[in-house]
Amino acid sequence: MTRSDEPSEELTAIESEALARVQRLGSGQATRRDIEDTRHWGSRSSAHSEALAQASLLWDQLGPAGANLLKRRGDSVLADVRRQPRMTRRAMLGGALATSAAAYLVVSPPLQLWPSLQDVMADYRTAAGEQRKLTIDGGIKMTLNTGTSVNVQPGDANLDRIEILTGEAVIAASSASREVRVVAGDGEMRARQAQFNVRHEQRSTCVTCLDGEVQVTRHGSVAALRAGQQVSYTALGLAAPMSVDLAEVTAWRDGMLIFHDTPLGNVVTEINRYRPGKVMVTNAELEHRLVNGRFRIDNVDDILNMFQQIFGAKARHLPGGIVLLS
C-alpha cells in the first residue's frame, strides 16, 4: 500500500461532530432540542447516519467514562476501523474497541451502568428511581416506572402508536373509537377503554391487564387478556395467560415493592432497577434464599441492610454504586 492509499489517521469533520453530539447526549445535560437536532443531523446523508451509528455504539460500549477516551483516542479508534479490509462496519468497530478499550472493559465492564443512546434519544425517559406521569395526543395516559424509555409515533384519527424501548409503564386508554397500539420488542398490544401494565426487558416482556380487555400478539400468536390476567413472551414464544395479584404488579405506582417467597437473586434484580449502580450476588446459596416483605422504593438500600441482618450477608461497596453481596 502506498502512503496515499493508507487510511487517514484523522477523524473527518462528520465523525468528529458525531462524537461530540453523542458525548453531549450522554452527558445528562442534553435538552430536547439537542436530541431533535441530532436526529435531524443524522438524517442529512448516509455519511452522517453512519458516523452517528459508530459514535453511538462506542458510547454504548464505553459509557460516560469513555468520553475522555473518545477525546484522547477518537482519531486512532476510528482510524483502526478504516484500516481493516473486507469487514462489516460492526465487525471493524468491534476490532477497534478491542484494541483501544479492552483494558477499560475488563476493569469496568458495562453492567448496564448507563443508558444506551437509543434510551437517551427516546421521546420520554425516566432515570433510575424516577417515575413520571404524562398524557399524549388522543387522551392516552401513561405512567412510566424507573429506567423507562418510550417513543410516541404519529397516529391518525383511529389509532395511537406507542413503542416501549425498555422499562415499565401503565397505559390507560379511554376512547371507545380510538385504539391504542403498543409495541414492545417483537410483540404488540391493542386496546380500547382499557388499562394495562407493560414491562419490557432485554429478553422478555410481561403484559398485565388491569381493567378492560387487551389483545397481545407476537408472530401470529394471540392472547386476549381480561382484568387480572397476565401474559409474557420471549424469543421462545407467547406463554399462556395466567391470573395474578394486581396489587403486587402495580405496587410500584404507590412507591412500594412487594415480595412473596421471592428468591433473593430475583429481589436483587428488582432492586437494581431503582438505584444507580449495580448490586451483584456472589454467593449461590444466598441467591436462593426466600424473601418476604413490603419495601419502599425510595429507600431500596434498606433491603440490602435486611439481607445482612437476617441472612448474615456481607456487603462490599465499590465505587460507582456497585455492591457485592456474599
Q: How far apart are CA 313 and CA 282, in angstroms?
A: 10
Q: How far apart are CA 162 and CA 40, in angstroms?
A: 21
Q: For all residues of the chain together, what is the average pLDDT?
A: 79
Q: How far apart are CA 167 and CA 276, in angstroms?
A: 15
Q: At what angle do helices 13-25 and 67-83 cross, to 10 degrees?
A: 140
Measured on CA atoms in the order 131, 134, 136, 142, is the torsion positive or negative?
A: positive
Measured on CA atoms in the order 271, 272, 277, 282, is the torsion positive or negative?
A: positive
pLDDT at 233 over 80: yes
Query: pTM score > 0.95 for this model?
Result: no
Task: Compute the average pLDDT of residues 201-223.
Answer: 95
Sorting pLDDT into bands at 50, 70 and 90, what band is 206?
Answer: very high
Sorting pLDDT into bands at 50, 70 and 90, what band is 277?
Answer: confident
Q: At what angle do helices 301-311 and 264-274 cross, to 10 degrees?
A: 160
User: What is the reported pLDDT for 30?
Assistant: 65
What is 201-269 written as a DSSP string?
-SS-EEEEEEESEEEEEETTEEEEEETTEEEEEETTEEPPPEE--HHHHTGGGGTEEEEEEEEHHHHHH
Find the length of the chain. 326
Contact (Cβ atoms closer than 8 angstroms) between residue 129 and residue 301: no
pLDDT at 77 over 50: no
Q: How far apart are CA 132 and CA 146, in angstroms?
A: 8
Sorting pLDDT into bands at 50, 70 and 90, what band is 177?
Answer: confident
> What are the distances in angstroms from CA 30 to CA 23, 40, 92?
9, 15, 29
| DSSP helix/strand/coil, 198 | strand
Q: How far apart are CA 275 and CA 257, in angstroms?
A: 13
Smallest CA-to-CA distance from 136 within 164, 184, 172 is with 172
* Helix (H) or strand (E) run with residue 185 in it: none
pLDDT at 150 over 70: yes
Measured on CA atoms in the order 197, 199, 204, 205, is the torsion positive or negative?
A: positive
* Mode of pairing for the β-strands spanning 278-281 and 322-325: parallel
In order of their start, the domains of the chain are 3-114 (no CATH), 122-249 (2.60.120.1440), 255-325 (3.55.50.30)
Task: Compute the average pLDDT of residues 102-114.
Answer: 39
User: What is the reported pLDDT for 6?
Assistant: 44
Contact (Cβ atoms closer than 8 angstroms) between residue 269 and residue 311: no
Question: Cell numbers of 306, please?
Answer: 435486611
User: What is the reported pLDDT for 239?
Assistant: 95
